[in-house]
């Protein structure tokens, strides 16, 4: 077959590279079919862009196959590219050949009507064929490219950190175990499971972050970034938490918290501009169907300064607001999503970077401030989504780090010897952060549930497909 000679619809409609009267072959899935006496229309989408192209069949009688072509079928159309006779589109195809490649019947779940997101999650194998999920998957790909472009142009090296680890970076306990031990009959020694018998000879888990290894590479290479899947077994069934999500983690040697905040702000603005300038078709779709204001918001945020304030200042603002919070506010508590939303949506109406958090609510690796009570942590909060970035300047002083690890109750410090070694030999001040890729996509597209910005979401009690 001549499949490889096909023309992608995006080249016709978006880049306008195909001249009128050119013979083209279109391969795609049928969105709608209308068969009349004089003329029939077969509208096809091939996934290269949002728009469909319409095949116009001049003498339907000569194409008996038309009666077998239903929504959802795959077809091959050959014909001339002509100016569209009807309104609404610029081009159509005057069909000369029409082949049904793979039929679909009336049970095809994606008939032409709007479906709820809940329903579409149940058919995540088919939802990429819808307008919304087509646009989402395309913008996800483009933004992934933008991430690499941003860091590569700045001279950061892309590194790959392990997915199987034996350490818990965030210390939050939300780890998925990796094991080949027979659950029903585990090896026991001294009344406990003997992990030395397990595949790796020790307890091992899926990584919650690539940061610890990222730090090792940064102190050797300078500036690095990771971009990979991370796993968290938190039992939080919210619209912002996934058990498997993608994270971008830059790590810079010779950088302090201010440099880190600058990089985070520059990075986010780059992604927002990239979406507006390089993903026009998708963004106009989201602007029309998902969130009318999303483009305007991104444009204004890309041109304004993020608000920066300390945790202590944030607490004062929350305490003196007249808002009724479900979780009461006082110095020392972790910010809940209602607090984050108040700061970003009501108080500042833009992204906010909160820094210098209490030492007790943050991880062991963050640099202790001279006050002994706060650490050089920073979170970037945005309206609607809340925390989108978490990061910090790292504790590079060996003695202070060892003390903090003990205080945090880390009993197996000897297993972090490799992490401590970079402080023991030629320690370097360094900083980094993690951006949740899905949360960034939620903010950029206006989508409100994380299950709808990753093709196959994994959340508590759901790992289908």
Of 31, 121, 127, 232, the one binding ligand 4AD by CB under 6 A? 232
Which one of Mg ion, ligand 4AD, none is in contact with 434 (Cβ closer than 5 to 8 A by kind)?
ligand 4AD
Of 434, 441, 442, 454, the one binding ligand 4AD by CB under 6 A? 434
Q: Tell me how far, at minimum, the Cβ of 435 lies from ligand 4AD, in Å.
A: 6
Q: Are strands 40-45 and 53-57 parallel, antiparallel or unpaired?
A: antiparallel
Query: What does the alpha-carbon distance between residue 271 and residue 298 come to, in Å, rounded to a whole number?
Result: 10
Given the complex with Mg ion, which of 1 and 361 has the nearer CB atom? 361
242 binds ligand 4AD (CB under 6 A): yes
6-14, 71-79, 383-391, 407-415 -> range binding ligand 4AD (CB under 6 A) = 383-391
211 binds ligand 4AD (CB under 6 A): yes
72 binds Mg ion (CB under 5 A): no
156-164, 199-207, 238-246, 291-299 -> range binding ligand 4AD (CB under 6 A) = 238-246
387 binds ligand 4AD (CB under 6 A): yes
390 binds Mg ion (CB under 5 A): yes
Of 132, 433, 451, 454, the one binding ligand 4AD by CB under 6 A? 433
438 binds ligand 4AD (CB under 6 A): yes
Cα angle: 376, vertex 377, 378; to 5 degrees: 125
State the burial class of residue 252 (Cβ atoms within 10 Å of its Cβ: 0-12, 13-18, 19+).
buried
Query: What does the alpha-carbon distance between residue 436 and residue 113 come to, in Å, rounded to a whole number?
Result: 32
Which one of ligand 4AD, Mg ion, none is in contact with 241 (Cβ closer than 5 to 8 A by kind)?
ligand 4AD
Given the complex with ligand 4AD, which of 7 and 211 has the nearer CB atom? 211
Query: What does the alpha-carbon distance between residue 10 and residue 36 come to, in Å, rounded to a whole number?
Result: 28
Q: Tell me how far, at minimum, the Cβ of 272 lies from Mg ion, in Å.
A: 21
Of 207, 247, 252, 271, the one binding ligand 4AD by CB under 6 A? 247
Given the complex with ligand 4AD, which of 198 and 249 has the nearer CB atom? 249
Q: Which residues pair with 379 in a beta bridge?
A: 354, 390
351 binds Mg ion (CB under 5 A): no
Given the complex with ligand 4AD, which of 350 and 362 has the nearer CB atom? 362
35-43, 293-301, 318-326, 386-394 -> range binding ligand 4AD (CB under 6 A) = 386-394
The tokens for 136 are 């989402």
Q: Which residue has the tokens 């006779």?
A: 85
Given the complex with ligand 4AD, which of 390 and 446 has the nearer CB atom? 390
27-35, 240-248, 316-324, 400-408 -> range binding ligand 4AD (CB under 6 A) = 240-248
Q: Round the CA-based radius of gyration of the chain to a whole number and report it.
A: 27
Q: Tell me how far, at minimum, the Cβ of 295 lies from ligand 4AD, in Å.
A: 22
10-18, 386-394, 399-407, 415-423 -> range binding Mg ion (CB under 5 A) = 386-394
50-58, 271-279, 329-337, 385-393 -> range binding ligand 4AD (CB under 6 A) = 385-393
The tokens for 32 are 């709608």
79 binds ligand 4AD (CB under 6 A): no
Half-sphere exposure of 123 (CA within 13 A, CB side): 15
How many residues touch ligand 4AD (CB under 6 A)? Answer: 24
Residue showing the smallest CB distance to Mg ion in the complex: 390
For ligand 4AD, the binding residues (CB under 6 A) are 169-170, 209, 211, 232, 234, 241-242, 245, 247, 249, 387-392, 432-434, 436, 438-439, 450
For Mg ion, the binding residues (CB under 5 A) are 390
């Amino acid at each position: 077959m001549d499949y490889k000679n096909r023309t992608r619809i995006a080249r016709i409609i978006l880049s306008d590279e195909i001249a009128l009267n050119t013979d083209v072959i279109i391969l795609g899935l049928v969105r709608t079919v209308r068969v009349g006496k004089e003329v029939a229309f077969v509208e096809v989408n091939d996934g290269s862009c949002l728009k469909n192209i319409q095949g116009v069949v001049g003498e339907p009688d000569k194409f008996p196959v038309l009666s077998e072509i239903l929504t959802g079928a795959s077809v091959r159309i050959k014909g001339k590219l002509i100016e569209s006779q009807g309104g609404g589109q610029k081009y159509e195809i005057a069909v000369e050949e029409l082949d049904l490649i793979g039929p679909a019947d009336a049970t095809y779940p994606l008939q032409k009507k709007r479906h709820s997101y809940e329903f579409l999650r149940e058919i995540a194998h088919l939802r990429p064929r819808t307008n919304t999920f087509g646009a989402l998957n395309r913008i996800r790909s483009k933004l992934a490219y933008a991430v690499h472009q941003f860091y590569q142009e700045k001279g950061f090296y892309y590194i790959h950190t392990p997915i199987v680890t034996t350490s818990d970076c965030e210390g939050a306990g939300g780890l998925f175990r990796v094991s080949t031990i027979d659950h029903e009959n585990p090896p026991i020694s001294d009344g406990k499971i003997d992990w030395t018998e397990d595949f790796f000879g020790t307890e091992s888990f899926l990584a919650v972050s690539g940061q610890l290894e990222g730090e090792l590479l940064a102190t050797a290479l300078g500036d690095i970034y990771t971009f990979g899947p991370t796993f968290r077994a938190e039992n939080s069934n919210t619209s912002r938490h996934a058990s498997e999500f993608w994270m971008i983690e830059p790590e810079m040697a010779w950088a302090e918290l201010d440099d880190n905040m600058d990089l985070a702000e520059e990075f986010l603005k780059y992604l927002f501009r990239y979406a507006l300038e390089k993903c026009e078709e998708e963004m106009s779709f989201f602007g029309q169907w998902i969130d009318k204001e999303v483009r305007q918001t991104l444009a204004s945020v890309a041109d304004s300064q993020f608000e920066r304030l300390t945790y202590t200042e944030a607490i004062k603002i929350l305490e003196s607001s007249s808002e009724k919070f479900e979780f009461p506010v006082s110095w020392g508590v972790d910010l809940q999503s209602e607090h984050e939303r108040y700061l970003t949506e009501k108080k500042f109406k833009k992204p906010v970077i909160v820094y210098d958090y209490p030492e007790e609510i943050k991880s062991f690796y963050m640099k202790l401030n001279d006050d002994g009570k706060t650490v050089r942590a920073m979170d970037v909060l945005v309206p609607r989504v809340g925390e989108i970035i978490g990061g910090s300047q790292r504790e590079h002083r060996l003695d202070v780090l060892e003390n903090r690890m003990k205080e945090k109750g880390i009993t197996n410090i000897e297993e972090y010897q490799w992490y401590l070694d970079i402080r023991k030999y030629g320690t370097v001040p360094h900083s980094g952060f993690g951006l949740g890729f899905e949360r960034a996509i939620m903010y950029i597209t206006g989508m409100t549930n994380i299950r709808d910005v990753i093709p196959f979401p994994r959340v508590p009690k759901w790992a289908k497909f």
